[in-house]
Amino acid sequence: NVTVIKNSKSGVCSGRNLGVKNAKGDYIMFLDADDWIESNACKILLNHAVEAEADCVICNYSRDYSDHSEKMLHYIRDTMYSDWKDYLKDLLNVQAGVGFCWGKLIKASTIEDVLLNEELSLAEDAEYCARASQKWNVIVGDEHPLVHYVFNDQSAVRKFDTAYADKFLLSMKAVEEDLKDVMAEDKNIETLFYNFVSYHVLLILVNYCAHPQNKD
């Protein structure tokens, strides 16, 4: 039971939005084109969602390289977040790896009106999750590494791009706008946001100044 939809627009955000608009089921999962999931992933996450009455279930993942794999175990055991702000603190810690669209089973009714920002091309996952999570009353983490993130040297985030900084700046401003109210109330989250920005400044620095494709 697979429906293939051809997208007249380009970009991962428009593709995901088109999928959400055409989805028929009670839950939605995103999966990037070069990644894959374990054959029992949907069953495990759905069982967890039903048991916890969760709006979102987030799983661990494996990072697959050409010669080996590394399990990225943020959740040592199944976890329940106290609220969406508790999850947000993890999202703003980039190395926690929970700010991606993939690796999540999401109750479809919570994101019917929450679409990805098609003006963004970098860090669009985190910006989307920062908005979508505000619709989730119950968020749980599943200890199973069910998604395989395939490390690709030619992926969009690793190619040299002279507009890299501008694209990231646009995303950081969008996240700041999404979180301005909660940051005004919680200085800890504000601090985490600026750590989040600083991490991406380092990514910009590495991409622009140390990238082998930058001949200048």
- Residue 111's pLDDT is what? 96
Q: Which one, of 122, 116, 121, lies nearest residue 178 by Cα?
A: 116
Question: Which pTM does this prediction carry?
Answer: 0.92
Q: Sign (positive/negative) of CA torsion 107, 110, 114, 120?
A: negative
Q: Which one, of 98, 88, 117, lies nearest residue 190 by Cα?
A: 88
Domains of the chain listed by start with CATH number = 12-154 (3.90.550.10)
Burial of 29-50, coded b for 16+ CB within 10 Å and e otherwise, reads bbebeebebeeebeebbeebbe
Q: Write out the chain's pLDDT in tens, 216 residues.
A: 889 999 998 889 999 999 999 999 999 999 998 999 999 999 999 999 999 999 999 999 999 999 999 999 999 999 999 999 999 999 999 999 999 999 999 999 999 999 999 999 999 999 999 999 999 999 999 999 999 999 876 665 567 777 888 999 999 999 999 999 999 999 999 999 999 999 999 988 887 778 888 887
- Residue 35's pLDDT is what? 96
- 56-64/36-37 β-pairing: unpaired
- Residue 10's pLDDT is what? 86
- Residue 26's pLDDT is what? 97
- Residue 138's pLDDT is what? 98
Q: Residues, the chain, total?
A: 216
- Dmax over CA atoms of the chain, in Å, equals 56
